[in-house]
A and B are shown apart, each in its own frame.
Chain A
């Protein structure tokens, strides 16, 4: 996953629900030096009895925001969505030099 162009990651999930899997796996796919490179990662844990859907909110360097519903999307789909925009930004960065 290309994470170079992500500036903010904000997620909330109930770890005891099955729908939290994608959100948690997204957090694990961020590189170890993410925070050192300026990415802000905020996680909110919902209580055990909460039935709210798990959400993932991502902001990119060009200002684009993605709101992903983790209940229905698997981790592969989430990574695909994020990478799609990141690849566009990558192309732009390559052109600009």
Chain B
């Protein structure tokens, strides 16, 4: 039986990247040794592979799996990528502390949230129903912390290309700027090694004290104050702005499992469009009427009225002069009937003009 060639599967590639390198020469020797044995009539898959010359050097770096600073095939690396993607694509995120909710309680809480969000009226000319994309998910706090640092302090556009070996053995410039790359790791290290006061002023620094203990986040694909208000009235009700649903309209909200689950959730803050808000800030965003379009309309109206005020003030002086002249003219026209008061009126007008 011909000796088995070590075929590099996906798992094997990971170990090839991370473990000590066997020089490519020994891989070439392996090829030569097996080619002599491949003259046997039996054709196994391994022998066929040897015959066709399909051997990869052990230090081959596949283009779909670039080199990483940490092992990339472990769950926490993939969670890190998930969280960085989430942070870059989610404009509205509420942060909750969850204290030992059971699975049944989570199911009840998510059910109530889904029902409330489905009842939010949609806005706009072509409304898109994104309430199914709003999710309350438990996250790994430490990995989320690292993901926040990567999103904040790593700029993929600033990474310089490195020379990497291609399949043919030549070297080509390649830019490794993914979130698990060495450049990302070094950028984060550089940014966090400085003084803590400077770090505390960054959005990461403001959010960092919140990331303690078990955390769950409620993510919205877009900043919609109406949906936020509905979610707040379920998860963190605070009358009068966000009243909990009434017992008659929503009796399931008041069942013991749902209530005990909701009591264990604590809204501690929010990240809206990259900025950090506390509970009062989140309430303010939820209280914006008519959504973001309403806010834009308010701003436009305010700007227009401000311009109008300025114009009125500037024109006021000339307007009053014109009015005075007009009144004098009407008086003079009346006085033409009688010639005597006319010269007096002319004298008065001259006095006013001077």
In the complex, how many residue pairs between chain A and chain B have their CB atoms under 8 Å apart? Answer: 54
Residues of B within 8 Å of A18, CB to CB, are 209
> Is A89 engaged at the interface, CB distance under 8 Å to the other chain?
no
Docked pose: A18 CA to B213 CA in angstroms: 12
Sampled A-B contacts (18; CB under 8 Å): A15-B97, A15-B268, A15-B269, A16-B210, A20-B209, A24-B212, A25-B212, A27-B99, A27-B266, A28-B213, A28-B214, A30-B99, A31-B100, A32-B102, A41-B263, A45-B268, A45-B279, A48-B280
A34 to chain B, nearest CB (A): 8
Give A6-41 interface residues, CB cut-off 8 Å to B: 15-18, 20-21, 24-25, 27-28, 30-32, 35-36, 41
Docked pose: A28 CA to B87 CA in angstroms: 25
Residues of A within 8 Å of B55, CB to CB, are none
Residues of B within 8 Å of A30, CB to CB, are 99-100
Q: Hey, which bits of chain A sit against chain B, CB under 8 A?
A: 15-18, 20-21, 24-25, 27-28, 30-32, 35-36, 41, 43, 45, 47-48
Total contacting residues, chain B, CB less than 8 A = 22
User: Which one, B101, B209, B214, B260, contacts A16 given CB within 8 A?
Assistant: B209
Q: Which residue of B lies closest to A18 (CB)?
A: B209
Pairs A-B, 4 closest by C-beta atoms: A48-B278, A15-B268, A32-B100, A21-B212
A87 to chain B, nearest CB (A): 22
Docked pose: A20 CA to B266 CA in angstroms: 14
> Is B206 engaged at the interface, CB distance under 8 Å to the other chain?
yes
Residues of A within 8 Å of B214, CB to CB, are 28
Docked pose: A55 CA to B297 CA in angstroms: 44
Residues of B within 8 Å of A20, CB to CB, are 209, 212
